[in-house]
Amino acid sequence: MKALSQKRRHPLAAIALLLMGLLLTGGLYAVATTVNQAKAETTTFSASDTEEGKKLFEANCATCHGMGASGTKDGPSLVGVGAAAVDFQVGTGRMPMQMNGPQAQKKPLQFNEDQTHQLSAYVASLGAGPAIPEEHLLDEKGNAAEGGELFRVNCAMCHNAAAAGGALTRGKFAPALADVSGKHIYEAMATGPQNMPVFNDANISPEGKRDIVTFLKKIEANGSPGGADLGSLGPVAEGLFVWVAGLGVIIAFTIWLTSRTS
């Protein structure tokens, strides 16, 4: 015990412990990076796609995001955001941005499907990130009931329980989710665009995301069987409308009666 105690007090003991800690940290990081890289490679791209995507990026995106997508004061770095983020932002017309504002607005597409695929390939080559979802996750054959529960717990506070959208702070908003493709809904959950948090696979599993897409497409297909949905703002808005409209009818009827008697 005395010999061991003396070794612990050796001048090189602290350095040895530091080196061991660095080796352990590096090993854990290498394992985590390998796992993330495996996830990122679920979407495969050809070398031609990556090369063409680089040309498109340098011509259309580098002004804001910098050469090599390293970022500038006008746009963040895209290293490690993954193919799904590019496919969502470019595929919905939000990028390139039309003008500065609280958040990027959806607008007509600037790039066709092939060009969007190529841009996604280039950004994916810069670092591991969420991949474009596979087709079986977008078949809308998940569990709609489970998806509805997940949506109400994680999404309804911003997007409304009926996915009709809602206002946020400082001019921002959560958009309505009707007429949005299942792929873009899935990608939004995986990448967290604009003010949306990222729901990675540890938060909501791929099957859970599939269930949410199924739920949203189901309520979209069902429409509003009860008649006019009044913006799907909920019972308070509907009650207020009935109250105001009902009082208006009563007042109008009362004025009509009094005018008749006079």
Separation between Cα atoms, residue 117 and residue 127, nearest integer Å: 16
> Which residues are registered as beta bridge partners of 173?
167
Q: Cα angle at 172 between 171 and 176, to 5 degrees?
A: 130
Separation between Cα atoms, residue 224 and residue 201, nearest integer Å: 32
Binding residues for heme c: 61, 64-65, 155, 158-159
> Which residues are registered as beta bridge partners of 72?
75
> Which residues are registered as beta bridge partners of 75?
72
Binding residues: 61, 64-65, 155, 158-159
Choose among 134, 115, 122, 121: nearest CA to 42: 134
- Residue pair 218/241 in contact (Cβ under 8 Å)? The answer is no
